[in-house]
Amino acid sequence: MNRAADWPDAVFGVLADTGVRQVYYVPDNGHRRLIERCHADNAMLATRLTGEEEGVAALTGAWLGGDKGVLLMQSSGVGKCINMMGIVQECRVPLLMLVTMRGQWGEFNPWQVPMGRATAPALEAAGVLVHEVDDAARVAETVHAAARLAFDAYRPVAVLIGQRAIGFKDWTK
């Protein structure tokens, strides 16, 4: 079994079981399969964003309207969301973020390294609870734990899905 290819399906199951109805994302190959599954599910509204920070605002509105949601993004977009964490913190809005990491193990693009190294510290400085997972077999259970924490304790929580779990990016094929 190819765990790197299977985790998106397991995470989709966790999101569905958790009652996630709104999914916001910036296109990302690391989340491709999960995004496809969300679009195919009539119980979920999957919306492409032009910027990651829009997802924080949209999910705040979704929560106020009675829906649970998730923001899918790459680590390079985390910096754009930091200022938006103020509303989440002050209003105690649950925010679940699934972040595929760049700039780590096997990275081919040196421009991804600085934000890859700064992602967890930046989120933590903004008051986000961070769960890092590098093992594809543990991604779904980590997302489940993060969803419970976000939705039951009204906190922003990010799951950082490491490149070992995602697999190497190979732009030569």
> What whole-number distance in Å separates Cα of residue 92 and Cα of residue 154?
5
Question: Is 171 part of any domain?
Answer: no
Question: Among 27-36, 59-68, 102-111, 149-158, where is mean pLDDT lowest?
Answer: 102-111
| d(C-alpha 76, C-alpha 86), whole Å | 20
Residue 120 lies in a domain: no
Residue 134 has pLDDT above 80, yes or no: yes
pLDDT tens-digit readout, 78-89: 999 999 999 999
For residue 115, being part of any structural domain is answered with no
Question: Tell me, what CATH number does 87's domain have?
Answer: 3.40.50.970
Domain hosting residue 68, numbered range: 3-110+125-165
Q: Confirm whether 173 is domain-assigned.
A: no
What pLDDT sits at residue 1?
A: 40
Q: Is the pLDDT of residue 55 over 90?
A: yes
Residue 14 CA from chain centroid, whole number: 13
Convert the pLDDT of each residue in 120-131 to its tens digit.
999 999 999 999
CA separation for the pair 25, 72 (Å, rounded): 5
How many domains, in total, are found in the chain? Answer: 1
1-5, 8-12, 27-31, 100-104: least confidently modelled range: 1-5
